[in-house]
């Protein structure tokens, strides 16, 4: 009888800790996001990284397009010095077909990874230290490619790596690449029907 009451107390304690962790996590996420612009935009579908650096926003065209943006801290500082306000974002992809975030532990950002598959190609973005890997879609051309190339050229060698094949990905990254290709099929069909593909 005594053992059952101890077990019950342990279970309640563990459940309470679990619930408290999630409540605290939500409050901290909310408070940390308040000063960042992406936090306040109603069309933002997903945010990632320290200071909500990378995000996906929905653009309402015939069929909603998702764009992948990065708010480079260097750009924000430059704008604040010139105009006393930040707000310039680098567009990495004009049409994201599928994405997945893998958040690490409680606000460490060290293990956070974001995967995106879209018209520009396959992105793997690490939060800490910040690094982008890209397997480019060679079929992307025209003005959209120029805008993406201009944005990518602003990253240092440590921040950006252009990969030539999936052989350069880790096993986990390859799995995500294959999973996102499958996940993207339905969205690609819908975009084709709305003449928004690629």
Query: Which residue in this structure is represented by tokens 């680098």?
Result: 90
pLDDT at 72: 80
Mean pLDDT computed over every residue of the chain: 81
28, 91: one domain: no
Least confident of 25-34, 37-46, 101-110, 179-188: 25-34
Same domain, 8 and 83: no
Q: What are the pLDDT digits (tens) for 75-94?
A: 655 655 555 444 557 889 98
Left if phi > 0, otherwise alpha if psi is -120 to 50, otherwise beta: which for 196? alpha
- 66 burial via Cβ count (<10 Å: 0-12, 13-18, 19+): buried
DSSP state of 5: H
- Do 3 and 44 lie in one domain? The reply is no
Chain centroid to CA 69: how far? 8
- Nearest by Cα to 68 from 139, 162, 2, 144: 144
Verify that 164 and 93 share a domain, yes or no: yes
Q: How do residues 131-174 score in pLDDT, each as one tens digit?
A: 999 999 988 888 988 989 998 998 999 999 999 999 999 999 99
Asked if the model's pLDDT at residue 66 lies above 70, the reply is yes
Instruction: Provide the token pair at 120.
Output: 């520009």
Work out how many domains the chain is built from and give that number.
Answer: 2
Helix (H) or strand (E) holding 160: strand 160-163
CA distances from residue 8 to 14, 22, 85, 113 in whole angstroms, order as listed: 10, 21, 55, 38
């Amino acid at each position: 009888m005594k053992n059952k009451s101890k077990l019950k107390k342990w279970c309640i304690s563990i459940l309470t800790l679990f619930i408290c962790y999630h409540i605290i996590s939500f409050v901290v996420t909310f408070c940390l996001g308040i000063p960042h612009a992406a936090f306040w935009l109603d069309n933002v579908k997903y945010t990632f990284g320290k200071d909500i650096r990378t995000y996906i926003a929905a653009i309402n065209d015939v069929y909603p397009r998702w764009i992948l943006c990065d708010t480079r801290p260097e750009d924000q500082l430059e704008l604040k010095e010139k105009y006393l306000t930040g707000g310039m974002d680098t567009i990495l992809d004009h049409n994201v077909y599928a994405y997945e975030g893998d958040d690490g532990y409680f606000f460490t950002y060290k293990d956070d990874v974001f995967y995106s598959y879209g018209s520009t190609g396959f992105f793997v973005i690490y939060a800490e230290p910040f690094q982008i890997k890209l397997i480019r879609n060679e079929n992307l051309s025209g003005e959209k490619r120029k805008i993406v190339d201009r944005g990518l050229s602003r990253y240092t060698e440590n921040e950006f790596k252009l990969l030539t094949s999936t052989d350069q990905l880790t096993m986990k990254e390859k799995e995500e690449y294959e999973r996102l290709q499958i996940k993207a099929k339905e969205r690609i069909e819908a975009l084709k029907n709305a003449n928004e593909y690629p």
